[in-house]
Chains A and B, each alone.
Chain A
Amino acid sequence: MASSKEQNSIYDIKISTVVPGFKSGHDGAQELTAMDLAMKLHYLRFVYYFKAPTFDGFTILKIKETMFSWLCHAYIPCGRFRRAESGRPFIKCNDSGVRLFEAKCHLSLDEWLESKDDSRHKVLVPNQVLGPDLAYSPLVLIQLTDFKCGGKSVGMSWSHVLGDAFSAMGFINLWAQAIAGHYPAQPLTMAQLPTKDQPLIMIQQKDTTYDLQNSKPKIDPLSVKRVDPVGDLWSTSNNSKMETVTFYFSTTELTRLQAQICGKKVDQQLPEFECICVVIWQCLAKVRHGSGPKVVTICRNDSKNRNKGIITNESQIISLVKTDKPIGDYEPFELGSLIMTKADDERMKIKEAMEIDEELPDFLIYGANLTFVDLSDASFYEMEVRGQKPAYVNCVIDSIGDEGVVLVLPTPKGCFDGRMVNVTLPQTQIFELKSVLEEDWCVA
């Protein structure tokens, strides 16, 4: 729980809407891919912290001016959802805009960042979800919070249906460019739907696969969890209260962990991300008394398939790692190599599962299984606002399944090079996880 100190320090919240300065969307309809729709229940919540001189003399009017010109080049996230006759949602690019919250904080930025309370970031980013009034729910919400010292935080809530974390960063980085007066040649676009021929092939493929296993009932892929139809309120309720805790792994700690996991096999090295996965997976198995997650989902950036200026959910590899024996029985290295080698790309299966069902099922991806998301190569700290880079960036995924999500994030340059890990789990497991991590791996 956030201590009352942090939560109560936010005051004077003003809400407005920023829109493209010129007619940009032309009321066009932006179709969504199956992958987009599979992600519709998830939200990414970013908080960027900027130290004092960054926003000095940059009044809210001027900030808004930059936003109005920024959104001309990124009008798709300004749209609103509508449903086609078939019930399939699409984005109507009607320039409805991005909701902007302005808030103030009694504390100084340093005080805020030094606080040990990991849920404090939550109050700096709007926590709205899409719906129930879908046609009037903004897809992106931004909160600007002024700290006492003159520092500022930029919190952005991004609907995952628009695209993954990298797409979201592309979107917000455009703003930083707009502040500097640089604009992209092309407005931000969304990944195109497969052309007309492709779905036909897909259907044919589907038919053949079903001929082969015709008697089998439809089974959802393991990487998704089907939830009760949510209707127009795109969020999920958890059985137990979820909480997020942040761990920091410094470079030295990471090398120590790598050494610990790999043991004597000097020739084989596990990358940092896999190490963290192994550590947390094993700890969590212990927390859950050995019956721990046998299946985990790994999400990685598919950097080869990622194009600049496109927001998409297609460029994130979602793969599944299955184990056949209890986690406790695995050697850490064994588990690590399993993640490295036995991860199966599930994207096609998810898409098929979406498309087969006419009614478009409501799926959870994050937290359907324990999900590790690799954002360690995300360029959070590359965003430059008026010559200043953010002092700290936090990111969590909201509205997830009960199995929990582990986000591996980069740390600010210079402070402690290493990794920052945001673990979101049911509240009851968090405390135990902390103690197990400390006992087994000496990670505080």
Chain B
Amino acid sequence: MLKLAMQFYDYLIDYVPNLDHLSLIHILTFTLLTITLVTFYLLNKPRTVYLIDFACFKPPSSLRVPYATAVEHGQILLASEPKSIAFLVKIFERAGLGEETCLPQTLHYLPPNPCMMDSRDESQLVIFSAMDSLIQQTGINPKDIDILIVNCSLFAPTPSLSAMVVNRYKMRSNVRSFNLSGMGCSAGLISLDFAKHLLQVHPESNAVVISTEILTPNSYRGKERSMLLPNFLFRVGGAAILLTNKRSQRKYAKYSLEHVVRTHKGHEDKSYRCVTQEEDKEGHVGIALNIDLMAIAANSLKSNISTIGPLVLPITEQLLFVSNFLGKTLFKLDIKPYIPDFKKAFDHFCIHAGGRAVIDELQKHLKLSSEHVEASRMTLHRFGNTSSSSLWYELGYIEAKGRMKKGDRVWQIGFGSGFKCNSAVWKCNRDIEAVKNGAWADCIHRIQRVIGEMAAVWGITNVHSLRLYAKVRLPIGRETREGRDKLTKCQMPTVYSRYSRSVRLTMLHSRFSYTHSSSDQHAPLTPQSSLVTTLELRTLGIVLIYVFSTLDLRPLCLVFYNLFTDDGGRIIMDGIMYLAHIIARK
């Protein structure tokens, strides 16, 4: 103690004369600025958003549409267009949908003849079932819900779906309800972002997000190939998610929301027109999918990961990237751009199960292993493309598999019309046990068999080529029997463990193959345009703080101002630390 006091005294002695060199005005400005900044920071400190629990709608088995039945109905409905149907069946074969996906009741008819009542019936079935499970799982009283957001792209009735939920659960009169429509498959994350922002301004609130797509009124009944495709891919599904910003709920929460990054490519005409609802020549309304869909999706993903990269990547990856970047720009070295490895940032990936092609493309693009995309593939296989709710089925899959451990980070990526790519990063709050009554509960034990079956049918012993399995649609006739024989001979658990080992190996060797597109290189330094922006600013900020802190303080304000982005808080704190340190050393 005495020693410390002595040191402090010495320090004061050293320090005080120095004060003479600084004018009073300098000191005052600095103190005021620091106080202001600290207050500002504390006031605006983002509230953590927790996910208490979520529930996915489990379609009753009486809505099942086996592959053969779907094809048969297609054949009957499009009997006059044998070429179109042959083409569609070919695509459907490889779409990655399994035998147990479900369509709403009305679409089981030949021909389907949907009416408003049917659409409402489907909405009630999907939304109420999901809500009921959520209430049952969390024990929340519907009267405690402060914010309600429902997103459904193509069915927007009056009164709205959110009003329907308020009515059913007799929610409070001052509940803030919102109904997002027309926002496509990535709307689930938009709702989430919306909820996040609402929770920033409404303290101690619970928010419920319901993501679904009501298919009944949107089945295309014309003959255009590009518009028929959604009929084959989209299946019934929905999810309800309970979010809160109550700190008291932290220990019960499953996840905390770290980031939501939204990318909207609507400024490009091509992207804008990529997925459109329109009438065909005969006046039938449907969703037309553009042939460039995959390229546009890849492009939007690029923008999205360039924003999310700096937020989530570990410092080593960032340093590697910065040094690579500096080497390339400053020293004009001819080296390949360093591609950050996203597997170091995330433990689980939930890629929107839009179709096999989407998952394949992303797997290739992000150099993910089969295990990483297993949740997406299995969701597509079991539930089909359930639009905005697919991400929740995937999260449910990972949980049901018992893979979600405390501290794990999950990345949800959604794509949708607009063209939008949205992603969210969750951090797991506690080890999650597989629930007994979730959407996956009754089929999770069969998954291993499904994977094995795929392998067996193709005679693949190296199950690492799991990617193949979406291609597996059993060849007609006898081949099936052979496949099954192989299956019985094949020892499933062994195969599966081999698969995991190979996955681990791939994980070691693979690298994220992300490159700047040529257009991005010349783009101005806007926060979303490239991976460099935020990174560079952050480094620059720190350097500037260091330099200016010794000279003059006024330019600092400008720097702070410029840096005041989402991540600014940390930089400012860094800066203040530096300042304090420097001043202390003097």
Interface residues of A (CB under 8 A from B): 14-17, 19-23, 26-29, 61, 64-65, 67-69, 80, 82, 84, 92, 94-97, 133, 136
Measured between beta carbons, the chain B residues less than 8 angstroms from A68 are 61-62, 64
Given A64, A82, A94, which contacts B67 in the complex, CB threshold below 8 Å?
A: A94
Residue of B nearest to A138 (CB): B72
Q: Which of B33-41, B397-405, B470-478, B565-573 lines the interface with chain A?
A: B470-478
Q: How far is the CB of B451 from chain A (nearest CB, A)?
A: 15
**Interface membership of B484, Cβ < 8 A:** yes
Within 8 A of A (CB), among B457-484: 474, 476-478, 480-481, 484
Residue B139, interface by CB 8 Å: no
A to B contact number (C-beta, < 8 Å): 77
Closest to A66 in B: B62
B68 CB-CB contact with A under 8 Å: yes
Please name 8 further chain A to chain B contacts, defined as beta carbons within 8 Å, in addition to the given A29-B477, A94-B67, sorted by A numbering.
A16-B110, A19-B69, A22-B64, A27-B474, A80-B72, A82-B477, A84-B478, A94-B66
A364 CA to B110 CA in the complex, in Å? 33
Q: A61-B105, A69-B61 are in contact. Are A28 and B481 (CB under 8 A)?
A: yes
Min CB distance A246 to B, Å, is 32
Q: Is the CB of A16 within 8 A of B64?
A: no
State the Cβ distance, A336 to closest chain B Cβ, in Å. Answer: 49
In angstroms, Cα B64 to Cα A69, docked, is: 11
Decide if B484 touches A97 in the complex (CB within 8 Å). no
Interface residues of A, dominant DSSP:
mixed
A68 to B59, CA, bound (A): 13
Asked if residues B61 and A95 are in contact (CB atoms below 8 Å), the reply is no
Are the C-beta atoms of B61 and A17 separated by less than 8 Å?
A: no
- Cα(A27)–Cα(B68), bound, Å: 10
A47 smallest CB distance to B (angstroms): 22
Across the interface, which residues of A come within 8 angstroms of B60, CB to CB? Answer: 65
Q: Which residues of A are found within 8 Å of B73, using beta-carbon distances?
A: 17
Complex Cα gap A64–B105 (Å): 10
> Quick check: A23 and B66 within 8 Å, CB to CB?
yes
| Given A26-B484, A29-B480, A92-B476: A136 and B75 interface contact (C-beta under 8 Å) | yes
How far is B122's CA from A61's CA once the two chains are assembled, in angstroms?
A: 12
27 A-B contacts (beta carbon < 8 Å)? A15-B110, A16-B109, A16-B110, A17-B69, A17-B108, A19-B65, A23-B99, A26-B484, A29-B477, A29-B480, A61-B62, A61-B105, A64-B62, A65-B62, A68-B62, A69-B62, A82-B476, A82-B477, A92-B476, A94-B67, A95-B66, A95-B99, A96-B66, A96-B69, A133-B75, A136-B72, A136-B75
Q: Which B residue's beta carbon lies closest to that of A22?
A: B61
Query: In this complex, which of A27, A80, A82, A84 has the most chain B Cβ atoms within 10 angstroms of its Cβ?
Result: A27
| 9 closest cross-chain pairs (CB), A and B | A21-B61, A94-B68, A95-B66, A96-B68, A68-B62, A65-B62, A15-B110, A16-B108, A23-B99
Partner of A95, one of B68, B108, B113: B68
Q: How far is the CB of B519 from chain A (nearest CB, A)?
A: 47
Partner of A23, one of B75, B100, B476: B100
B68 contacts which chain A residues (CB < 8 A)? 80, 94-96
In the bound complex, do residue A136 and residue B76 qualify as a contact, i.e. CB atoms below 8 Å apart? yes
Q: How far is the CA of A80 from the CA of B76 in the complex (A)?
A: 15
Minimal beta-carbon separation of A29 from chain B (angstroms): 6
Among B60, B73, B99, B481, chain A packs the most CB atoms within 10 A around the CB of B99
Our pick among A28, A84, A96 for the contact of B484 (Cβ within 8 Å) is: A28
Q: Is the CB of B64 within 8 A of A21?
A: yes
Contact B478 A14 (CB under 8 A): no
Partner of B481, one of A29, A82, A94: A29
B108 contacts across to A, CB distance below 8 A:
16-17
| Cα distance A330–B268 in the bound complex, in angstroms | 94
Q: Which of A19, A26, A67, A84 contacts B477 (CB 8 A)?
A: A84
B296 to chain A, nearest CB (A): 35
Q: Which residues of B contact A97 (CB under 8 A)?
A: 66, 69
**Cα distance A17–B72 when bound, in Å?**
10
A136: chain B residues at CB < 8 Å are 71-72, 75-76
A29 B110 Cβ-Cβ under 8 A = no
List chain A residues, Cβ under 8 A from B477: 29, 82, 84, 92
A76 to B426, CA, bound (A): 47
CB neighbours (8 Å) of A95 from chain B are 66, 68-69, 99
Q: How far is the CA of A20 from the CA of B63 in the complex (A)?
A: 10
Name the distance in Å between B137's Cβ and chain A's nearest Cβ: 24
CB-CB nearest in chain B for A63: B62
Q: Which of A16, A28, A67 has the most CB of B within 10 A?
A: A16
Hey, which chain B residues are within 8 Å of A26, CB to CB? 480, 484
Nearest A residue (CB) for B446: A23
Bound CA–CA A27/B75 (angstroms): 19
List the A side residues contacting B67 at CB < 8 Å. Answer: 94
| B286 smallest CB distance to A (angstroms) | 22
Asked whether, in the complex, the Cβ of B69 is within 8 Å of the Cβ of A29, the reply is: no
Contact residues in A for B99 (Cβ distance below 8 Å) = 23, 95
B154 to chain A minimum Cβ distance, whole angstroms, is 23
> With a CB–CB cut-off of 8 A, which chain B residues contact A16?
108-110
Q: Which of A17, A29, A95 has the most CB of B within 10 A?
A: A17
- Minimum CB–CB distance from B446 to chain A (whole Å) comes to 9
Q: How far is the CA of A19 from the CA of B108 in the complex (A)?
A: 10
Query: Shortest distance in angstroms between A132's beta carbon and chain B's nearest beta carbon?
Result: 12
Shortest beta-carbon distance, B273 to chain A, in Å? 36
Chain A: CB-nearest residue to B61: A21
| A96 CA to B64 CA, complexed, in Å | 11
Residues of B within 8 A of A82 (CB): 476-477
CA distance A64 to B71 in the complex (A): 20
A436 to B478, CA, bound (A): 55
Chain B residues closer than 8 Å to A28, beta-carbon distance: 480-481, 484
Q: Give the residues in chain B near A27, CB-CB below 8 Å.
A: 474, 480
Pick from A65, A82, A136 the residue with the most CB of B within 10 Å: A136
Bound-complex Cα distance A382 to B468 (A): 51
Question: Which of A17, A92, A96 contacts B110 (CB under 8 A)?
Answer: A17
When chains A and B are docked, how far (Å) is the Cα of A94 from the Cα of B477?
10
CB distance from B410 to the nearest CB of A (A): 29
Nearest CB of A to B108, in Å:
5
Question: Which residues of B63-116 have CB atoms within 8 Å of chain A's CB atoms?
Answer: 64-69, 71-73, 75-76, 99-100, 105, 108-110, 113
- B69 neighbours in A (Cβ, 8 Å): 17, 19, 95-97
Contacts of B76 in A (CB 8 A): 136
> Which A residues touch B72, using CB under 8 A?
17, 80, 96, 136
- Chain B residues near A61 (CB, 8 Å)? 62, 105
Which residues, 113 to 131 on B, are CB-close (under 8 Å) to A?
Answer: 113
Instruction: Please give the distance in Å from A214's CB to the nearest CB on chain B.
Output: 35
Contacts of B64 in A (CB 8 A): 19-22, 68
Q: Chain B contacts of A15 at CB under 8 A?
A: 109-110
Least distance between A342 CB and chain B CB atoms (Å): 44
Query: How far does the Cβ of B100 sit from chain A's closest Cβ, in whole Å?
Result: 6
Q: Which residues of A contact B109 (CB under 8 A)?
A: 14-16
Q: Give CA–CA (A118, B67) in the complex, Å.
A: 40
Q: Which residues of B contact A80 (CB under 8 A)?
A: 68, 72
**Cβ of A29: which chain B residues have Cβ within 8 Å of it?**
477-478, 480-481
> Distance (Å) between the CB of A65 and the closest chain B CB?
4
Report chain B residues within 8 Å CB of A92. 476-477, 480
* Chain A, Cβ-Cβ closest to B99: A23
Give complex CA distance A97, B75 in Å: 15
- Give B480-511 as 1s and 0s: 1 = Cβ < 8 Å from A's Cβ atoms: 11001000000000000000000000000000
Task: Assess whether A21 is in contact with B62, with CB atoms less than 8 Å apart.
Answer: yes
